[in-house]
Amino acid sequence: MSPSAPTNLAIDVRGLVKRFDDKVAVDGVDIQLPQGQVWGFLGPNGSGKTTTIRMICGLLRPSAGEGRCLGFDILKDSARIKRATGYMTQKFSFWGDLTIRENLDFVARLYQMPNRRRSVDETLDTLGLTHRQHQVAGALSGGWKQRLALAAVTMHQPRLLLLDEPTAGVDPQARRDFWDEIHRLSTAGLTVLVSTHYMDEAERCDRIVYLANGKLITQGQVADIIAESGLITFRAKGPGVRELAEVLRHQPGVDHAAYFGAALHISGPERRALQRAVAGADGENVTWEEVEPSLEDAFIALMARAGSDKRDHG
C-alpha cells in the first residue's frame, strides 16, 4: 500500500505498545476508527489515553505495534500525519499576552498557510470569535479559551481531530457549545477521537473505546457496553436513601452502590442477590425499582472485572 492509499479508516493501528523504562503505559491497543465518526476515548487517570493519542499522531514512537493514521504509516510518516491532524493537548498552549487574532495568526504562520489573513478571518467567524478577536487570550474564561484552542487546531483544515480532555474544567454551557461544534465538524467530514472523563460526553459519541492499565477493556456503542457489563441495577428513591449506601455496599451480590443525584443505585451481576439486598433495605421512606444501568455503572463493573483478571493472571 502506498502511504496515502485510500482507506475508509481514519485510524487503523494494531498492537500498540509503549514502555517507559519498566512501565508499560500502553499494552497492545488496536483501534480502527472509520472516517467521519466521533469516538470517545475513556479510562481512568494514567490508563494510557494520552500516550496512545501521541503514538497515533506520530509524536511518540511505539515500542511495538504498527498502523496508519489517515493512510500514513505512523512509524515513518509522522510529518504528514501532523499536517493533516489537529491535536488539542490537555493543557491548551497559546500565548496569554497575545490577542485571539494574534494567536491564530501565529498558528497560521507555523502551518505556512497561504492567505493567512483570510484563513484567520474565516476561523474567527466560524467559531464565533470575531467580536473577541482583539481580546488578550490570557484574560479569557475557560470556555472561550477552549474555543480558541479548537480554532487553533482546526484552522489548517485537518482531516482528523485528536482532542485530549478538551472540556476539563469548562462549564456545562460551554461544554454543550463545544459538542455542538464537534458534531458540526463531524458532519462536515472530520473524524474525531476525544478523550474525556465525562459520561454525558461519552454518550454523545458514535462509539466508545475504554482503556484501563494500558489495555483496551471494551469498545462499542453505549448500549453494547452496558449490555456487555451484564449488570443489573436497582434504584432507591425517597428521604431514607442517604443512610442506605454504607449498609448495602457490604451485602452479598452488591458490587457497588453509588448516588446519582438524590437516588441510590446498587448494581451487581445477579438479580436474585440484589433483590435480597433490596428486600432487607425496604422501608417506608424508600421506594425501589429496577432500572437500566448507567454507563458509569457499566464502566465500574468492567474495570473491577479487568482488575480481578489482572490479579488472577498476574
Ligand X SMILES: Nc1ncnc2c1ncn2[C@@H]1O[C@H](COP(=O)(O)OP(=O)(O)OP(=O)(O)O)[C@@H](O)[C@H]1O
Residues at the contact surface with ligand X, assessed by CB under 6 A: 20, 23, 25, 43, 45-51
The least distance separating ligand X from the CB of residue 46, rounded to whole angstroms, comes to 4
Give buried/exposed letters for 10-49 (b at 16+ CB in 10 A, else e): bbbbeebbbeeeeebbbbebebebebbebbbbbbeeebbb
- Per the CB < 8 A criterion, the answer to whether 104 and 123 are in contact is yes
For ligand X, give the closer residue by CB, 8 or 45.
Answer: 45
The least distance separating ligand X from the CB of residue 20, rounded to whole angstroms, comes to 3
The least distance separating ligand X from the CB of residue 225, rounded to whole angstroms, comes to 18
* Rounded Cα–Cα distance for residues 13 and 51 (Å): 13
The least distance separating ligand X from the CB of residue 227, rounded to whole angstroms, comes to 25
For ligand X, give the closer residue by CB, 23 or 134.
Answer: 23
The residue type found at 143 is: G
Crossing angle of the two packed helices 116-126 and 142-154, in degrees rounded to 10: 140
The least distance separating ligand X from the CB of residue 216, rounded to whole angstroms, comes to 12
Give the residue among 20, 158, 173 at the shortest CA–CA distance from 82.
158
- Per the CB < 8 A criterion, the answer to whether 194 and 163 are in contact is yes
For ligand X, give the closer residue by CB, 202 or 245.
Answer: 202
For ligand X, give the closer residue by CB, 18 or 68.
Answer: 18
The least distance separating ligand X from the CB of residue 213, rounded to whole angstroms, comes to 9
Give the residue among 191, 195, 198 at the shortest CA–CA distance from 209.
195
The least distance separating ligand X from the CB of residue 59, rounded to whole angstroms, comes to 11
How many residues are there in the chain? 314
* Rounded Cα–Cα distance for residues 109 and 68 (Å): 27
For ligand X, give the closer residue by CB, 43 or 67.
Answer: 43
What's the start-to-end Cα distance of the chain, in Å?
39
The CA-atom distances, in angstroms, between 307 and each of 85, 211, 300, 314 are: 34, 12, 10, 10
For ligand X, give the closer residue by CB, 156 or 215.
Answer: 215
The least distance separating ligand X from the CB of residue 196, rounded to whole angstroms, comes to 9
Give the residue among 84, 108, 83 at the shortest CA–CA distance from 98.
108
For ligand X, give the closer residue by CB, 49 or 265.
Answer: 49
Q: Is the dihedral of CA 239, 243, 249, 251 positive or negative?
A: negative
For ligand X, give the closer residue by CB, 20 or 260.
Answer: 20
